[in-house]
Chain A
Amino acid sequence: MSWLLVYPIVIPLMTAVLSYLFRNTPAGRWIAVAGTAALLLASLLLMADVLEHGVVVAQMSNWEAPFGITLAADLLGAVMVVITAITGMATVVYSLSDIPVRLERMGYYALLQILLMGVCGAFLTGDLFNLYVWFEVMLIASFGLLVLGGNREQLDGGIKYVMLNLVSTIMFLTGIGLLYGITGTLNMADLHLAVREVQNQGLLTTIAVMFMVAFGVKAALFPLFFWLPASYHTPPVAVSAIFAGLLTKVGVYSLIRCFTLIFDQDVGFTHTLLLWLAVITMVTGVLGAAAMNDFRRILSFHIISQIGYMVLGLAIFTPLGLMGAVFYLVHHIIVKANLFFVAGVAKRIGGSTDLSRLGGLYAHAPLLAFLFLIPAFSLAGFPPLSGFWAKYVVVKAALDLEMWIVAGISLVVGLLTIFSMTKIWGAAFWPAHPDGIKPRLSDLPMGDRLALMLPIICLAALTCIIGLFPEPFVQFAERSATQLLDPTEYITTVLGVQP
């Protein structure tokens, strides 16, 4: 039993309770900052423990697996919790300036903490039904955050987001019900053993596809992504940043977890299906982005295209492919959240996120322009930034299996990504502002400037560090991929027996 697994869930819960009770005073937001810092610390301790001792397991209420609820962290789970805490910290600091007091009084920080709790819970749980519960926790918090304030755009996008995510949830639940019906267990490690004894393998593949649809909606996989570009640009910037960074990645994480641990009995069908879905996702996402004319909407479509790369890594299903998927997952959360933060600052000083009503950012806010280029180039995959290594590993994995078409398409998608980034650069940063505004950072009050720029600078620095010193990160991703492909350690630790 390790309490380290419980902290990333309990700390946000308690922070949410306290910051909600103090929501009418400034104390509420500082409690949120302190709580998120504590979460970050707890996640780092968990990470250190996992690095040292391997898979860490906790049985809730002292019920032995597979009868009770198990929390378990392997390398992938631990790194996802760390990255969640980092993104959460950046978002909370950014919110200090971005979120008006009016929304704060409606319980903004409490909802944000509940969201973090749901995401951490989803990354740490070892039980399929419990995963469903964490998805719901995350979902209800995200519904609240998305429509908080309730202007027309938000409600419009919110309806589509809520409806389609509910369908995915119900699909997930159906899959759980059927899987329980044929195996009699919902513990993921136990399921790994149980699915091998199922007579009706065809039914199992059907259930696998059901899970694929459910997680596909969450991850915004083609053709299930329409809710994402409809809603992600409507809420306050801090909210869309954390959504863009974390929420879809929970879907990808669940795909990786389920399709390595449970559904690896019919790889020829399921993973080939995933492969082509991933490729089409990449292409549609990047083409959608090319057609957009709004800073945040371009970025929203790019999430979809990048999801394609991660799922591609999973679908290739070699150690190198999975390693790429893990690396991409971590890199993309940092970069995407950062780009949304930059879009928020551009809106703040330039007055809009519509590219035709922006301009002059390079001339008047060169620091912001520089900080935009780092994540933008990283997203497109320029060396020596983190995105280069992520893309390199995924494409290399595809080439190793002689998937020339797939590798070719992912390289072309990379090129098109550069096209949209230059489009943003060419409209928002390079020319003069159409309304003659001079968007200066120095026009913002000191406190706002600090709260807005600090997260951007830190995340950009993180991108550079991963890019310049990729060795430890690559090794980590490699170990994590090995662990995913050979889950013996995970299973023995969870069940406490030799499989």
Chain B
Amino acid sequence: MQSLILTTTTRLLAALLLMFSVYALLRGHNLPGGGFIGGLIGATAFILYTIATSEIEARRALRVGPSNIAVVGLGIAGLAGLSAGLAGEPFFTGQWLFLFAEDGGKGLPLSTVLVFDIGVYLAVFGGILTLVFALEEEI
């Protein structure tokens, strides 16, 4: 589809959507949000781009094959679960690291839960795009 308005706004919107998807991902631990919804929003950016330009263009913009992204996401999520083993706790138990933590405060909380969420983000992002690109190719 060729539409000047769509292609122009897509540039802005796609960037905004991608940024918002990362925001949703990071917000997810204590508030509504998280890897799944973040991945969906991120995929929306590229779907919009596909509609505005073409599936080939979108693939080029993505650089890496979407199925590879999804699989890497799966691997990251699995590793996040496995990391609990290093601490001698059951599979998928969250491990926390509080950077610069002062008395009473939490400082900068880092956790394997976040790593898992990033894995989910990539898996959803890649999975949805694999599907959409495949369908787009057919039609």
Question: Which residues of A does B touch, CB under 8 Å?
Answer: 1, 3, 6, 10, 13-14, 16-18, 20-21, 58-62, 107, 110
- Is B67 located at the chain interface by the 8 A CB criterion? yes
Given contacts A10-B82, A13-B74, A21-B72, contact A107 B93 (CB under 8 A): no
Give the interface segment out of B28-36, B46-54, B83-91.
Answer: B83-91
Alpha-carbon distance between A27 and B67 when the two chains are bound, in angstroms: 18
- Is B20 located at the chain interface by the 8 A CB criterion? no
Determine if A61 and B93 form an interchain contact, defined as CB atoms under 8 angstroms apart.
yes
Residues of A within 8 A of B68 (CB): 20-21
Residues of B within 8 A of A10 (CB): 78, 81-82, 91
CB of A143, distance to nearest CB on chain B (Å) = 13
Residues of A within 8 A of B94 (CB): 61
Determine if A3 and B91 form an interchain contact, defined as CB atoms under 8 angstroms apart.
yes
Alpha-carbon distance between A10 and B91 when the two chains are bound, in angstroms: 10
Interface size class of B (residues with CB under 8 A): 10 to 19
A106 nearest CB neighbor, chain B only: B67
Interface residues of B in 80-111 (CB under 8 A from A): 81-82, 84-85, 89-94
Alpha-carbon distance between A426 and B136 when the two chains are bound, in angstroms: 50
- Is B71 located at the chain interface by the 8 A CB criterion? yes
CB of B64, distance to nearest CB on chain A (Å) = 11
Determine if B71 and A58 form an interchain contact, defined as CB atoms under 8 angstroms apart.
no
Contact of B71 among A21, A59, A60 (CB under 8 A): A21
Determine if B67 and A107 form an interchain contact, defined as CB atoms under 8 angstroms apart.
yes
CB of A159, distance to nearest CB on chain B (Å) = 16
Alpha-carbon distance between A483 and B108 when the two chains are bound, in angstroms: 50
Residues of A within 8 A of B81 (CB): 10
A14 nearest CB neighbor, chain B only: B78
A114 nearest CB neighbor, chain B only: B74
- Can you spell out 29 A-B residue pairs with CB atoms less than 8 angstroms apart? A1-B89, A1-B90, A3-B91, A6-B91, A10-B81, A13-B74, A13-B75, A14-B75, A14-B78, A16-B71, A16-B74, A17-B71, A17-B72, A17-B75, A18-B75, A20-B67, A20-B71, A21-B68, A21-B71, A58-B90, A60-B91, A60-B92, A61-B84, A61-B91, A61-B92, A62-B89, A62-B90, A62-B93, A107-B67
CB of A31, distance to nearest CB on chain B (Å) = 13
CB of B20, distance to nearest CB on chain A (Å) = 28
B88 nearest CB neighbor, chain A only: A1
Determine if B91 and A17 form an interchain contact, defined as CB atoms under 8 angstroms apart.
no
